[in-house]
Amino acid sequence: MSLALAPLDLSVELEANLPCRKFDPDLWFSDSPTELELAKALCGDCPLRVECLTGAVERAEPWGVWGGEIFERGAVVPRKRPRGRPRKEDVARDAALRVEVEARMAANGLAESRDAVRLAA
């Protein structure tokens, strides 16, 4: 097959505009809660966000930011907590964030109930 007859790969151009391709990949797998929040924010305008999140849910990704959500041990978590015992206000905020994550997952058609996608407590 000659190069002139090879099919045009449009995904190469699309991939160049994806945040996970533009920035350091380690950002999406950081241990730092602040860096993971930055990665989530960068995913916000990604044209493949929903597909990325769907794939990660199906694969039960063990960790990292996928489709604008943080995965830890195969479950979606609202935010990554730093090491040590959480403060009382952090526990309350995590409960509120868990509800927000469930709403976003449902809005993307990924979870009709808690059984469909396991959310970490």
Binding residues for [4Fe-4S] cluster: 20, 43, 46, 52
Cα(first)–Cα(last) distance of the chain, in Å?
A: 54
Q: Which residue ranges make up the annotated binding site? A: 20, 43, 46, 52
Helix, strand and coil content of the chain, in percent to the nearest 5, comes to 50, 10, 40
d(C-alpha 81, C-alpha 109), whole Å: 27
